[in-house]
């Protein structure tokens, strides 16, 4: 106990004149050292809930929140990033609030969990439910895959069992039991039911549908 108290005192003393800290220890915000107003460059350990501004490094806990940018590896029950994310999120729920449509501001990396959510994202989403509310580039592999615009591949479990949906435009491929796209600007759908609203070979086709 004395050792933990000494470590907490050292962290607090080292961040008095700084905006960032190499280590953050949290029981449940606001019971944490230092406060949520600091950036973390190094390690954060959260027993229940930890909260900070920008984060870079290794993030471990039950519920971890980075209000702005995150760079590194997050291993938690729930990982939440307010803005741009770069790295890997491993948890039951992975959330990235990035909603910037510009690719230079997109989040990059991997989300692996039961529920994965991101705005503009480039990389891998692997889980039971994957959602990209803006532009997605890469691979979504899940029972349910959703994106506004897709540049890449959506596939169900074992490339068969899954529902794939693109509400905007798609360049790439969808593989699953049911595939839906509003518009295909180059690509195909492979599955039991394939739906392309605007410009498919047919509005609905079994086995294969597409547009090139």
Q: Give every CB contact of residue 45 below 8 A, 6+ residues apart in sequence.
A: 23, 24, 25, 26, 60, 61
pLDDT in tens, 56-107: 999 999 999 999 999 999 999 999 998 889 999 999 999 998 765 555 567 8
- Round the average pLDDT of the chain to a whole number and report it: 89
| Residues 60/88, Cβ–Cβ less than 8 Å | no
| Residues 40/52, Cβ–Cβ less than 8 Å | yes
For residues 42 and 3, the model is more confident at: 42
For the chain, give me the number of helices (H) and strands (E)? 1, 14
Q: At residue 44, does pLDDT exceed 60?
A: yes
pLDDT in tens, 184-195: 999 999 999 999
End-to-end CA distance of the chain: 66
What is the pTM (predicted TM-score) of this model? 0.85
Task: Calculate the dihedral angle through the C-alpha atoms of 67, 69, 72, 73, rounding to the nearest 10 degrees.
Answer: 30
Question: Helix (H, G, I), strand (E, B), or coil: what is residue 127?
Answer: coil
């Amino acid at each position: 106990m004395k050792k933990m108290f000494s470590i907490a005192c050292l962290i607090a003393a080292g961040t008095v004149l700084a905006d960032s800290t190499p280590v953050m220890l949290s029981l449940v915000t606001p019971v944490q050292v230092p406060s949520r107003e600091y950036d973390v460059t190094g390690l954060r350990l959260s027993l229940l809930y930890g909260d900070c501004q920008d984060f870079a490094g290794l993030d471990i806990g039950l519920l971890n929140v980075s209000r702005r940018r995150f760079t590194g590896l997050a291993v938690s029950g729930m990982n939440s990033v307010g803005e741009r994310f770069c790295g890997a999120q491993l948890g039951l729920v992975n959330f990235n609030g990035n909603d910037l449509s510009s690719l230079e501001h997109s989040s990059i990396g991997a989300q692996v969990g039961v529920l994965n959510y991101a705005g503009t994202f480039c990389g891998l989403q692997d889980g039971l439910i994957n959602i990209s509310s803006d532009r997605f580039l890469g691979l979504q592999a899940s029972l349910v895959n959703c994106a506004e615009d897709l540049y890449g591949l959506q596939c169900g479990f074992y490339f068969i069992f899954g529902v794939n949906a693109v509400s905007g435009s798609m360049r790439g491929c969808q593989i699953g039991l049911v595939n839906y796209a509003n518009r295909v600007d180059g690509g195909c759908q492979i599955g039991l039911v394939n739906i392309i609203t605007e410009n498919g070979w047919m509005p609905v086709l079994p086995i294969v549908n597409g547009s090139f």
